Amino acid sequence: LNLKGVRVSLHPAGHILGSAQVRIEYKGEVWVVSGDYKVAPDKTCATFEPIRCHTFITEATFGKPSFVWPDQQQVFEEIHDWWRANQKADRVSILYAYALGKAQRIHAGLNPRMGPIYLHPDVEQLTLEYRLAGVEFPRSTSTRFAVPPLDWSESILIAPPNAHGTAWSRQFGPANVAFVSGWCLIPGMTQRRGFPHGFILSDHADWNELLSAVTATGAERVFVTHGDEEPLVKELTQRGLIAAPLSQLNGGLHQPSLFRAGT
């Protein structure tokens, strides 16, 4: 796309299906706006694409050194072990995760040979859009198509967090529930959100991934927004980059010719 000499293009951000970074070029100067992104591979969306640029605007949802994700294969092994233990206890397994992106990532990583996979209607609707886009998933059924009486104890269900504690969640009998989020890394956060168990899986970059993403761009200037800005700004500055919170962009740190394009 060319707008009055400004070239604009979209590139995979790896956050969820269709998420994109925006590359903006004017008179040889390149800026990239990351939006939400993750670096880890994901079966349900295109992988984050590092783009060489002069200035990179990055998110910092988990921009503290304490946020370092476990290996996602390990997390899925833990989920399957938990599911197996619940089956032995004759209790249905219910995973609560954000309905867009996270729920589909979990679904794609489940082993259907272990038992039936059911989706909350809200998750099912969004998963259908993924399927229409060509993303493949293990076989699943919407809970709205389940015909009672039904023994749920071998099953695993995926639902949005706002379904926890509702009439929907109480229809399945004895259940063990868990929350799936990067926020589960914070001690006590899972319990404060009303869940007895949590699995650490995020659709955002962790501390090390944020740093590696910035490095891969080759950017000289980095603006940080949306999250823990100051720790990341401090680290990038110590590494010799010009870095600041995005909120300071109009404060005189740097006023590139890009912002005068088309005015």
Q: What is the pLDDT of residue 149?
A: 62
Same domain, 147 and 178: yes
Find the distance separating the first CA and the last CA of the chain, reported in whole Å.
18
Proportion of the chain above pLDDT 90, given as a percent: 92
The mean pLDDT value for 108-116 works out to 98
Do 78 and 60 fall within a single domain? no
* Position 263 confidence tier, pLDDT thresholds 50, 70, 90: very low
Mean pLDDT confidence for 36-43: 98
Q: Does residue 2 surpass a pLDDT of 80?
A: yes
- In terms of domains, do 112 and 171 share one? yes
Q: Does one domain contain both 109 and 135?
A: yes
Instruction: Please say whether the beta carbons of 80 and 49 come within 8 A.
Output: no
Mean predicted lDDT score pLDDT of the chain: 94
Please check the confidence at residue 261 and state whether its pLDDT lies above 70. Answer: no
pLDDT tens-digit series, residues 178-222: 999 999 999 999 999 999 999 999 999 999 999 999 999 999 999
Q: Give the pLDDT confidence score for residue 7 in this predicted structure.
A: 98
pTM for the full model?
A: 0.92
Quick one: 246 and 154 in the same domain? Answer: no
pLDDT at 150: 84
Among the candidates 199, 231, 250, a domain finishes at 199
What is the model's pLDDT at position 260?
Answer: 36
Q: Given pLDDT bands bounded at 50, 70 and 90, which one contains residue 262?
A: very low
Report d(CA 171, CA 163) in Å as an integer. 12
Q: Do 159 and 247 share a domain, yes or no? A: no
Q: Which of 76-85, 106-115, 134-143, 252-261 has the lowest mean pLDDT?
A: 252-261
Q: Are residues 118 and 189 in the same domain?
A: yes
Predicted local confidence at residue 251, as pLDDT:
57
Overall average pLDDT of the 156-168 stretch? 97
* Per-residue model confidence (pLDDT) at position 172: 94
Section 60-79 average pLDDT: 98
- Beta carbons of 39 and 207 less than 8 angstroms apart: no
Is the domain of 121 the same as that of 228? no
Could you tell me the residue range of the domain that residue 217 belongs to? 2-67+204-260
Nearest residue to 230 via CA among 220, 240, 248, 244: 244
Residue 148 has pLDDT above 80, yes or no: no
Could you tell me if 61 and 118 lie in one domain? no
Of the residues 199, 218, 252, the one at which a domain ends: 199
Beta bridge partners, 119, equal: 142, 158
Question: Is 145 found in the same domain as 251?
Answer: no
User: Cβ neighbours of residue 233 under 8 Å, at least 6 residues apart?
Assistant: 222, 224, 243, 244, 245
Asked if residue 187 and residue 77 are part of one domain, the reply reads yes
**Helical residues (DSSP H) of the chain, grouped into ranges:** 72-88, 102-109, 121-132, 167-170, 189-192, 207-217, 229-238
Give how many domains the chain has, as a whole number.
2
Counting Cβ atoms within 10 Å, is residue 29 exposed (0-12), middle (13-18) or buried (19+)? middle
Instruction: Give dist(CA 21, CA 32) in Å, integer.
Output: 7
Within 13 Å, how many C-alpha atoms sit on residue 190's CB side? Answer: 19
Average pLDDT over residues 114-138: 98
Domain of residue 28, CATH code = 3.60.15.10
Q: Is the pLDDT of residue 16 over 70?
A: yes
Q: Which helix (H) or strand (E) holds 147?
A: none
Average pLDDT of span 5-17:
98
CATH code, domain with 136? 3.40.50
If asked whether residues 167 and 102 sit together in one domain, one would say yes
pLDDT in tens, 224-258: 999 999 999 999 999 999 999 999 886 554 544 33
